[in-house]
Amino acid sequence: MKQPPLPANEQDRLKALERYQILDTDPESGFDDLTSLTAYICGTRIALVSLVDDRRQWFKSKVGLEVTETPRELAFCAHAICQPDKMLIVPNALEDERFATNPLVTADPNIRFYAGAPLITPDGFAIGTLCAIDREPRKLDPEKIAALQALSRQVISQLELKINIAKLKHNISKQVQVEQNLRGTNQRLTQILKKLRQTQVQLIQSEKMSSLGHLVAGIAHEINNPVNFIYGNLSHVNTYVKDLLNLLTLYQQHYPNPNDEIQCQAKTIDVSFLVEDLPKILSSMEIGTERIQEIVLSLRNFSRLGESEKKLVDLHEGIENTMLILRHRLTATAEHPNIAIIKEYGDIPQVECYASQLNQVFMNILSNAIDAVEESVVKTQNPKPKIRIRTEISRPNYVVVKIADNGAGIPEKIQPRIFDPFFTSKPVGKGTGLGLSISYQIVVDKHGGTLKYKTKPNNGTEFWIEIPVK
């Protein structure tokens, strides 16, 4: 195993790391979201935000790994920070003399693949990496490499944001101490902060939808091409199989008593079973590819990439596309039975709206409803979790989408805050606190509609999304 060298600017690099005051702090959803996205994009079991100090690498966020730190001399990331201008990619650690005998390779976690994008501070110091790790050799295509580098920049943005927030808090505290009697100033500062938060939510929402749209559209494109190739060739395969089976039937009719070798081989492969089962397999393949094509179409319709203006939209189509994406969360698991979806669609007109934004509202509220009924199964043994989706004309020139669950309801003490930016009652890593806040801005500010709810303890919650037709 080759020891990682020290960067030429090691002392200044350590000072740059220390100014973030990040080492040995608690997990934070902003970093956890980035590691989860890294593992998802790169298709690896492990993803880390790794920070390298003078003796160890410490993990601010981790997916697929239990330990929180490892010695610096064993760290792949300690090699990566020595070349801050490019990524360190190790397709197979067993074939790399630097790492082949590394205990992290020869023992748990049995690293084979490593890709680390250096975390570069604004003043040019590599303080760690955002890395994707797997237990099997693999390669990354250029798009995934670019995505990993982009996410590493977002890690630095999160660190810079923490510093800026800390400075802002310090300045506010100092101002309050100096000017305790200036209530009017405090009120104005509160209004400014509220406006800044609203602006931040708008920026996050805009960036999130743009990133999500490109990601979803890219995934749909990558899936669609090979699926179309498979689907287009299945008809030919069907024809060839029928021809071969017909030929086999003719052969059996004209040569009922083949030689011993042919009879033995026919018995070994069970020709009768193959003749019966092969068409079934081809039929199931055709059904499967058609299903994938439906999912790809739903992904494209959900993202609505490139639609920056209001258009006439069928809300039912948006709901159905959203439900298709969430369908995996509705099936029974070890934790909960099937979640029933009851659709009561009314005869409503098309609505002039921003389709991708309303799809995000449906996604946020339906995801929350699924969370609520899952929680009710655990806490109250709810035997029949269900979600009802109803659409109707609420008043002249307005339509309403009602999404109701039979979960535990929203606790009274948090009801006044559920639309506040960054407020969440979920554990760290399970929510950003932006879903309902963004949904409120989309419905109320962007569409001139109304977003409200009614809830009862142990009787569930119903959200009303009411928007004008035009």
CB-CB neighbours of 310 under 10 Å: 15
Say which residues have a Cβ less than 8 Å from residue 103's Cβ, sequence separation at least 6. Answer: 74
Q: Which residues pair with 404 in a beta bridge?
A: 388, 462
Q: Which residues pair with 400 in a beta bridge?
A: 392, 466
| Predicted local confidence at residue 305, as pLDDT | 46
Structure tokens, 128: 């760690």
| Domains along the chain with CATH numbers | 10-177 (3.30.450.40), 216-288 (no CATH), 311-468 (3.30.565.10)
The angle at the Cα of 5, spanning 3 to 9, to the nearest 5 degrees, equals 155
Name the E strands within 135-261.
Answer: none
- What is the CA 229 to chain-centroid distance, rounded? 27
- Sign for the CA dihedral angle at 429, 430, 436, 441 comes to positive
| Predicted local confidence at residue 59, as pLDDT | 97
Query: C-alpha dihedral over 253, 259, 265, 271, to 10 degrees?
Result: 10
| Predicted local confidence at residue 152, as pLDDT | 96
Q: How far apart are CA 148 and CA 154, in angstroms?
A: 10
Structure tokens, 434: 């932006």
- Could you give phi then psi for residue 460, rounded to 5 degrees? 90, -175
| Predicted local confidence at residue 199, as pLDDT | 58
pTM above 0.85, yes or no: no
| Predicted local confidence at residue 274, as pLDDT | 78
The burial of 104, by beta-carbon neighbours within 10 Å (0-12 exposed, 13-18 middle, 19 or more buried), is given as buried
121, 51 Cβ separation under 8 angstroms: no
Q: How far apart are CA 436 and CA 463, in angstroms?
A: 11
- Over the chain (470 residues), the average pLDDT of each successive run of 10 is 88 95 94 96 96 96 95 95 94 94 94 97 96 96 95 95 87 73 66 62 51 57 68 76 79 77 77 79 77 64 58 90 83 82 93 86 89 84 88 91 90 81 58 71 88 88 92
